[in-house]
Structure 1
Amino acid sequence: MLSLINSKIFTLRHLSRGNRTSFDKSIGLFGIAVIQFSADPNLQKAVEIKRNLGRKYIWTGQEESQLLEAVEKHGTKWTYISLNYFQSTKSPASLSQKFTYLQLKRKRSSYHNPWTREEDEILKRGVSKYGVGDWISISKLLQNRDNVQIYNRWQVISKTKRGRWTDDEHKLLLDLVDKHGQKWTELSDILNRPAKCIQSYYEYNIVNKKWTAEENNTLYQAIKEYGENWDIIMKHFPYRTVNNVKFHFQYIVACNPNINKGKWNEEEVEAFDKAFKKYGKKWKLISQEVKTRTPQQCKDHIKRQLSKQLSSFFNKRSLS
Structure 2
Amino acid sequence: MEKDITQVLQYNRELQANLQKKIAAVEAAIARNINLQNKLRRLKKSQVSTETKTRDFGPPFFVDIDGNTPPKNDDIHLRDRPKKFKPIKWIQQEKESLTQGVYDQNLRRECIKAMQSGQLLDTVLEKDSQYFLMNVEGLNWCELSKQYVQNKTPEECIIQWTTHEHPSINKSEWTAAETRKLRQIASRHNNRNWQRIAMELNTNRTAADCFKQWNKQTSGPRKWTKEEDEILARAVDLYGEKNWQQIAGCLENRSGQQCLHRWTKTMNPAIRRGRWKTEEDEALKNAVNMYGVGNWVKIQKFVLGRTDVQCRERWMNVLSPTVKKDPWTEEEDKELKRLVGLIGVGKWSKISAEMNGRTDNQCWRRYKVLMKQDDEGESIMNTPSSENEGEKNMNR
Higher strand share: 1
Provide the TM-score with structure 1 as the length reference. 0.40
Structure with max Cα Rg: 1
